[in-house]
A and B are shown apart, each in its own frame.
Chain A
Amino acid sequence: MTLASASVSRTRATGASVRLAILLFVADPQWLVPSTIAPIVFGLVSFELFRGEGPYFLTYAILGAGMMSMWGQTLYGSGWATGQDRFLGTLEPTIQAPAPYLYVVLGRIIWNVVAGLFGGLIVYLVVVIAAGGPPQLPNPLLFVVLFVFVMVTLASVGVVFAAAFVYSRYAGFIQNVGEFAFYIGTGCMFPVVLLPFWTNPIALLFPPTWALDALRYVSIPGYTGFAWGWGWDLFGAVAVTAVYAAVAGTVFDRVERHVLESGQLSDY
């Protein structure tokens, strides 16, 4: 018998985690609903508030609502991944396993990204039906590519949250209280440049802020976002996402070591 290498073991852990996440979703797909209700309502409210302001305001409403849905599914789903383990009593065994916990969480996040796209699609369809037609998109292909990229930036924030929530039993509360703050800070429904200038550097700490600005530049003619344009937005999004990924890896490593040393993981 030969021992599998570390990379094989980690890949297998991530694969099994994706498979389990899919099975859990298929067993109870109603969990997609809560993450789509608020975005649909917000999308319809925004559409009503933007009524008569021009064809591209529908894009604002759809983009914002779709982002909220994906935000809910991806960020909350990923952040809650640890909370769910804690709740079900599987956190200790998972952390004790030879494969690093990060690779287990990674599998859930991959599935959450896919589920987030489903949620975004549902929201898109509902708002488009309410509006009576789809939004005008100057470059649909680039829009789709950037849309998927935005998901990746959201997932990167989710990984950091998941790592931090190993320590905290207040994950759900922090997410609920911080929900609107994230929507505001990342410019989900409106450009961040509308906010007071001092808030802009804080907003730029979040990868989705950059990615959303780029997405609006390519989908809304005449859009006024950050002065550096969508090319630098994209560069910034990639850079900040990479930093998040690195931070998440380091934090997970330290969190794992800390909880194994302190033995306080099961305190709930």
Chain B
Amino acid sequence: METTWHGPYRPAFWRAFWTNAILAPRTSLGFMRVDFVLGTIFVIPLTQMVFFAFVVQLGNGGAAQIAFTAVGNAVATVTYSSVFSVCQTTDTEKQQGTMEHLLVSPANRIALYLGRGLIPILISFATVTVGLAYAALLFGVSIPLSTVPGLAVSVVLTAMAMVGFGLLLGGVALYLRTSIILGNIFLFIGLLLSGVNFPVTNLPVPLQYLGDALPLTWGLSAIRGAIAGDSLGALGVLWSAVALSGLVSVGLAMALWGFFERRALATGSIARF
């Protein structure tokens, strides 16, 4: 059989990547309609920020605490599109009966899963951007123009790291009967452990360590640092932490998918819902 050398360009890889990037939002990710996406980007951040702003107001918190909470929740809403949706893909594949076909497909797994993450990354980026716009316009958060470049880098890195984390949870969910509990836990746990509504130092030390394991904690620190006008050196450290948490998540996700795929093919049981 004649083999064809494609050089650094690998058509099969990119075909798998783009096919998943385009099809996954309409199938396993559940972003079937534009109004779904618009609701996620424009409605959820606003209502979540307003809710916690009033909770702070009831607790006699001042403008500074409301601004702190507003930024935290603007970023935390990224979990809906990045973690919850991406994590649910495994369930959807099982429910729709496509998991078996996926597992026996020769498609490159990295292309397949990274492709799936493309649209969630874009939606996550948009969600955080809109959330921060609300924070500036409605909650008195000062975002000087000079901080925008650093902020943009922080937001992009956070969106990518969070989607990587969603892929990791999707990998864990492959072994579970349902991923809805996992999805719900990580949809909201960041509100408590990642410094969204109050500084992480208020938490007991063991919970601080748990928070450090979440990409949201580092992403939020980088975004707060960028808004505060931190130096490039200080931001660089936080950016590295965000990128590292995202890379570790994706690496673990690939390892888990590989492990559970082999197990599924050997036992023929995991793909069942």
Contact = CB atoms under 8 A, between A and B. Distances in A.
B54 A53 contact: no
Contact of B191 (A41, A170, A189, A190): A41
Nearest to B48: A180
Contacts of B196: 45
B44 A177 contact: yes
Nearest to B190: A41
A195 B57 CA distance: 11
A71 to B, nearest CB: 13
Contacts of B55: 45-46, 49, 189-190
Given A45-B191, A180-B51, 9 more contacts: A30-B178, A34-B184, A41-B191, A49-B61, A53-B59, A57-B58, A180-B44, A184-B50, A194-B58
B257 to A, nearest CB: 23
A147 interface: no
Interface centre among B52, B54, B57, B189 (most CB of A within 10 A): B54
B192 A45 contact: yes
Interface in B104-128: none
12 contacts: A30-B181, A46-B55, A48-B198, A49-B61, A177-B40, A180-B48, A180-B51, A184-B54, A189-B58, A190-B55, A194-B54, A194-B58
A38 B48 CA distance: 12
DSSP class of A's interface residues: helix, strand, loop or mixed? helix
Interface in B78-123: 80
B185 interface: yes
A48 B185 contact: no
A215 B250 CA distance: 48
Interface of A: 30, 33-34, 37-38, 41-42, 44-46, 48-50, 53, 57, 60, 170, 173, 176-177, 179-181, 183-184, 189-191, 194-195
Contact of B192 (A44, A53, A60, A190): A44
Name the 8 nearest CB pairs between A and B, nearest first.
Answer: A180-B47, A177-B39, A34-B184, A190-B58, A41-B188, A50-B59, A49-B59, A37-B184
Nearest to A41: B188
B152 interface: no
B37 to A, nearest CB: 10
Contacts of B187: 37-38
Contacts of B61: 49
Interface in B27-46: 33, 36, 39-40, 43-44
A177 B50 contact: no
A184 B43 CA distance: 13
B231 interface: no
Contacts of A42: 188, 191
A177 B43 contact: yes
B202 interface: yes
B39 A173 contact: yes
A41 B189 contact: yes
A53 to B, nearest CB: 5
